[in-house]
Amino acid sequence: MTDSELIKTIRIVPDYPMKGIQFFDVTTLFKNPEAFKEVVDRICAMYADKGITKVAGIESRGFIAGAAIASRLGAGFVPIRKPGKLPSGTLSESYSKEYGRDTIEMHSDAIAPGDVVLIHDDILATGGTASAAVRLVNRIHPKAVYANFIIDITDVPRSAPIPENVPVSAVLHLSER
């Protein structure tokens, strides 16, 4: 599939979750088997030679492709969740996002210092959630950290940029306008 064909599978919802935000809904991409496979194939090709040992998917849409990517790369899957959703000891990180404040958590034993971690989510916008996930994962001191997204919204100012030592990639680069 071409980028244009992938983009056509994404539903755009104006003024969600608040006025002025244009929401790129990838659930419509996920329900299209050809588009979903294409996204997973492209991401796996980007990271096939990186030695990924864990894929950390950010709740909730990051779980969907993240688990498929982990399976294809022969890596473990680590859920990064909202507070109170994980049953054992956790580490947490709070952050600001474009429409409020939030916290994410992961199990404290989910990642080991020698792991090579790919953090995955559906959208990169201001960088708040992704930066918090990088800080959270880096508290374990893994060997390397990468960040990947299905969509990078390129014209949204990065109020919380991902650290420069974390390589970032996206399948699609779109504008909110």
Catalytic one among 38, 42, 61, 105?
A: 61
- The CATH number that applies at residue 145 is 3.40.50.2020
The answer to whether residue 15 sits within a structural domain is no
Which of 55, 164, 48, 64 is CA-nearest to residue 122?
A: 64
The answer to whether residue 32 sits within a structural domain is no
What's the pTM?
A: 0.96
The answer to whether residue 17 sits within a structural domain is no
The answer to whether residue 131 sits within a structural domain is yes
Q: Is 81 marked active-site? A: no
The answer to whether residue 37 sits within a structural domain is no
Rg of the chain on CA atoms, in Å: 15
pLDDT in tens, 10-45: 999 999 988 888 899 999 999 999 999 999 999 999
pLDDT in tens, 75-101: 999 999 999 999 999 999 999 866 678
Q: Is 177 marked active-site? A: no
The answer to whether residue 127 sits within a structural domain is yes
Catalytic one among 59, 72, 98, 135?
A: 98
Distance CA(158)–CA(162), nearest Å, equals 9
Residue 156, domain extent: 51-174
For 104, the 3-state DSSP assignment is strand
Which of 116, 111, 64, 118 is CA-nearest to residue 90?
A: 111
